Structure 1
């Protein structure tokens, strides 16, 4: 169990992590990419409810934080796909734990 013991460095590291993953879409995008490379429209279909504008913004943010990689291929028209980086894959345990927590507490979550 993580305890802060009044340590500001612990709070700062949690703050940094939350800033990199803030919003309702980033973890869902990372989850979709955890099964393999995807193009923009594939991601749009796999993350229901997200708009193209929001998806584009979130992909840029995830790329800036080195959680995903954007690859552009020299084709006509240009082909772009996204993949999760090793840095992004390091969040797999976090996503798995959130999944199990959500399953266990779904009833309480949905009541709110």
Structure 2
């Protein structure tokens, strides 16, 4: 039987507790990829991200801006123009995203098979909730 988990294994002052967990959310990685070639307007981002609602895209961009991953530049024009661009910190996510995409390509069939079969181990234990 394995040792019990240490209740302090995730120290609140550890730098890992400040990780931008949102890089694993559904949209952030895709927004990063959309901004690879340079600044984009909100409406431009919605084209390849056709499944995202304006509200969720706004929330995602605001969270990314708060984390220092993107900059938002508003131009004093009529009509107003706003562009989003990756910061150097945001660009540093490319290797992580590439690794996740590689893992997904290699393991997607097994993942889909596990999902289709219910994914619960057949050892009498209930599936995690």
Superposition TM-score, scaled by structure 2 size: 0.72
Deviates most, 87-96 or 45-54: 45-54
Alignment of 1:57-76 (within 5 A): 57-76=59-78
The 5-angstrom pairing of residues 1-112 of structure 1 reads 8=10, 12-111=14-113, 112=115
Runs in 1 of length 4+ with deviation above 3 angstroms?
6-9, 12-15
Q: CA RMSD in A?
A: 2.2
SS in 2 for 1:88: helix
Larger radius of gyration: 2
- Distance in 2, Cα, partners of 1:78 & 1:17: 33
Single out whichever of 87-96 and 28-37 deviates more from structure 2. 28-37
User: Which segment is superposed worse, 30-39 or 65-74?
Assistant: 30-39
User: Relative contact order: is structure 1 or structure 2 higher (C-alpha 8 Å, sep ≥ 6)?
Assistant: 1
C-alpha deviation, 1:81, in angstroms:
0.7
Moved more, 66-75 or 17-26: 17-26
Identify unmatched segments of 5+ residues in structure 2.
Answer: 1-7, 116-129
